């Protein structure tokens, strides 16, 4: 894997990606106060697909001139990435976020390096060692601790945590399988096609959910939240993520998200009034320790 010609630029982009993704938990939770979860989830992807077409397609056309046959050959893979890595991933993220807390969602999404490692090992891209396996077990133990204490009344649910885990696994699939074709088509092409197709996959859900929804009652802040989710944690972060994959291994890149759960948990407590329990702090520390051990295990 080649080194980046400007490491400062690369890690600045990765830092921005982490900021956008950290804020996504808070913005999404706030937007769910005004949109039903299935509508917000589908609207986010449809908006992203509509935005990326006029912005990215000219770049895509310039980069793929004469490579139409290659794109057509990989169309089934693009469809898989769009369905699993964009549509199902982002749909489950929003649905799960609506059923659990910001902190739980961020910690479970923070386990992405484990899913990436497992899928990478299955594809022959990574090797599972005893230390990595121990790290996985520690992280899973952290999830168990995380669920020892549940707040009374509305709060984190097991269903929300499980749905969020599905979102994390889908993103891991997107990471591993997308890297296999990213070198043939480039970051812009992969993201343009997958988000356009992802928007098409979720368009029926958006139409169904929106047919009876009173859009006029949504505040300006609610619309800004939906637009933020479509542009920054979706389009911008996916572009940065795939760009960085050209220089950093999937597992290593995934583990650079350690601060996301910390920032999201603090934001959830300070801005949204979410409860921070002893089980949350202990479970979160164990999960992050397990993820760290998994990434460092040789």
Q: SS3 for 97?
A: helix
pLDDT for the residue numbered 35: 97
Q: Are 46 and 205 in contact (CB under 8 A)?
A: no
Contacts of 246 (CB under 8 A, 6+ apart): 1, 2, 182, 183, 187
183 within a domain of the structure (yes/no): yes
State the Cα–Cα distance between residues 119 and 4, nearest whole angstrom: 25
Range of the domain at 84: 7-296
19 within a domain of the structure (yes/no): yes
2 within a domain of the structure (yes/no): no
Residue indicated by tokens 């397990």: 290
Of 107, 114, 115, 93, which Cα lies nearest the Cα of 146? 107
Q: SS3 for 55?
A: helix
Q: Nearest-5° angle of CA 169, CA 171, CA 174?
A: 115
> Which tokens sit at 206?
């958006």
pLDDT for the residue numbered 99: 93
Q: SS3 for 127?
A: coil
Of 104, 96, 82, which Cα lies nearest the Cα of 41? 96
The low-confidence residues of the chain, meaning pLDDT below 50, are 151-153
pLDDT digits (tens, 9 = 90+) for 10-47: 889 988 998 999 999 999 999 999 999 999 999 999 99
Q: What is the pTM of this model?
A: 0.88
> Which tokens sit at 62?
């310039």
State the Cα–Cα distance between residues 241 and 189, nearest whole angstrom: 14
Report the number of distinct structural domains present in the chain. 1
Q: Are 93 and 41 in contact (CB under 8 A)?
A: yes
283 within a domain of the structure (yes/no): yes
275 within a domain of the structure (yes/no): yes
pLDDT for the residue numbered 153: 47
1 within a domain of the structure (yes/no): no
């Amino acid at each position: 894997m080649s080194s980046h010609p400007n490491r400062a630029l690369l890690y600045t982009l990765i830092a921005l990606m982490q900021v956008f993704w950290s804020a996504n938990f808070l913005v999404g939770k706030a937007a769910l106060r005004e949109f039903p979860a299935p509508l917000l989830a589908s609207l986010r992807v449809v908006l992203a697909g509509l935005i990326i077409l006029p912005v990215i397609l000219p770049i895509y056309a310039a980069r793929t001139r004469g490579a139409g046959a290659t794109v057509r050959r990989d169309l089934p893979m693009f469809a898989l990435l769009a369905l699993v890595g964009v549509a199902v991933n982002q749909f489950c993220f929003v649905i799960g976020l609506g059923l659990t807390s910001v902190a739980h969602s961020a910690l479970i999404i923070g386990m992405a390096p484990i899913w990436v490692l497992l899928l990478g090992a299955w594809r022959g891209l990574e090797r599972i060692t005893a230390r990595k396996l121990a790290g996985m077990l520690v992280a899973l133990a952290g999830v168990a601790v995380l669920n020892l204490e549940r707040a009374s009344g509305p709060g984190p649910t097991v269903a929300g945590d499980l749905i969020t885990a599905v979102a994390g696994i889908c993103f891991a699939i997107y990471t591993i399988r997308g890297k296999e074709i990213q070198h043939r088509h480039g970051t812009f092409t992969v993201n343009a096609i997958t988000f356009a197709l992802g928007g098409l996959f979720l368009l029926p859900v958006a139409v169904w959910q929106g047919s009876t929804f009173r859009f006029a009652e949504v505040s300006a802040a609610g619309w800004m939240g939906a637009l933020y989710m479509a542009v920054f944690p979706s389009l911008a972060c996916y572009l940065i993520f795939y760009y960085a994959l050209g220089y950093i291994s999937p597992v290593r890149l995934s583990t650079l998200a350690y601060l996301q759960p910390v920032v999201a948990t603090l934001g959830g407590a300070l801005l949204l009034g979410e409860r921070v329990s002893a089980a949350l702090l202990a479970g979160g520390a164990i999960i992050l320790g397990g993820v760290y051990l998994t990434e460092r295990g040789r």
